[in-house]
Amino acid sequence: MKTQITPNLLISCSRHLLFSGLLLAGATVVTHGGPAPVVEQPAAPGKLHLTAAASSLIEQGLAAAAPTGPDAAPYQEIPSPGVRYLPSVARATNIPWIDSNGWRFARGMRKVSYAKVPAGSAALAAAEAFVFNVDAIINPDPKDVEDLGKMLRFLKAHEQAPLPDLVNIGVVDSPSPLLDEVLNLLTRRNLLYKVVPAPDRTLDLNVQLGTPDFPEEAAANPYDFAARVRAKLGDDKRLVRLYGTSTVIARLTGDRSRARLSLLSFSNRRQQDAGAQAGAQGIRVRLQGRYQPAKFAAYGASPEAKVSDVRHPGTTTEFWVPDFNTLAIVDLEAMK
């Protein structure tokens, strides 16, 4: 669902950015101890398919040929991922508007087609499909074939059996046309959720449109609604927090012994602005749970790159992620 960008919405967006740290009163949160509930994943990794525009990559065995005819029917066309910078009426800078398909995958899309991928976006589309573990057809611009090949090699090197999603927010499914944009903003704010048919008492927070805590009219402004969800959950219960970026989406998967944190960058140049010094640390990560980083890999980063300054305040884990391009993967082991 596309939200029309109006002056009123831009003003609201700016206000949200300025005042997102303010907590809303009257929050009712059900808190449960123990690890975050999990969302089961398919047993096998998602498959990437390419159109004839990237036939050379198919010949190299980096991806399968795109299905045709009736075999292509289950694949739903989705927009290419990316970012747009919208002018702000309240600040001298622009507001990054991330176009991510994460909310579509949360609603159950498992077979998708990136049929119209503009130049410069094919590698990001492949990384998005990989991170969210979906079967995807990618129709790249011919200019992107070389870069796409590099990304596919990177993805193959770090493919593994899917782990369950780690979430602690349940969003009750609804026919309301406002729900899609609500889910989109929750994804972009790294508030880890799953769509449920009814409130799930094992989760820290359940979000249901039409309830006193989440009136449907509040969802008309998805920015404010996402801020309401964040406030009612409480920052100390967020499973993932990222500092130093507004254009990275996180996905956390795992079980009781291990976890994988995937960081997907949507910035225009895909490279985190980590300052002038090469190898500077661009993103500070805070996770709920005590983990020890076991492996780090990032597209465009040095093979020797690794996370640094690992700390364990209370029941959390913090570390710096090196500068990276498009996708970084941190594999973690749970500490006993």
What pLDDT shows up at residue 41? 62
CATH class of 240-334: mainly beta
Region 57-80: mean pLDDT is: 97
Q: State the residue for tokens 């899609």.
A: 180
Residue 114 CA from chain centroid, whole number = 17
**pLDDT of 29 strictly over 50:** no
What pLDDT shows up at residue 106? 95
% of the chain with per-residue pLDDT over 70: 81
What pLDDT shows up at residue 90? 52
**In this structure, how many other beta carbons lie within 10 angstroms of the beta carbon of residue 64?**
13
Identify which has the larger pLDDT, 36 or 316.
Answer: 316
**pLDDT of 283 strictly over 90:** yes
| CA nearest to 232, candidates 154, 171, 280, 317 | 171
| CA nearest to 114, candidates 130, 143, 138 | 138
The span from the CA of 303 to the CA of 324, in Å, is 11
% of the chain with per-residue pLDDT over 90: 73
Region 178-190: mean pLDDT is: 95
What pLDDT shows up at residue 326? 95
What pLDDT shows up at residue 1? 43
The span from the CA of 56 to the CA of 68, in Å, is 18
Region 133-153: mean pLDDT is: 97
Give Cα separations from 157 to 28, 47, 64, 259, 299 (angstroms). 44, 14, 16, 18, 11
pLDDT band at 6 (very low <50, low <70, confident <90, very high): very low
| CA nearest to 261, candidates 322, 330, 185, 194 | 330
Domain boundaries, the chain: 7-30+168-237, 48-157, 240-334
Q: What is the pTM of this model?
A: 0.84
Give the pLDDT confidence of 220-236 residue by residue, as tens digits.
Answer: 998 899 999 999 999 99
Give strand pairing partners of 82: 99
pLDDT band at 266 (very low <50, low <70, confident <90, very high): very high
Token pair, residue 112, equals 């998708």
Identify which has the larger pLDDT, 19 or 197.
Answer: 197
What pLDDT shows up at residue 36? 55
> Hey, what's the torsion of the CAs at 33, 194, 259, 164, to 10 degrees?
110
- Using only C-alpha atoms, the chain has a radius of gyration, in whole angstroms, of 20
Residue 82 CA from chain centroid, whole number = 12
Give strand pairing partners of 165: 39, 253
**Is the separation of the CB atoms in 249 and 100 below 8 Å?**
yes
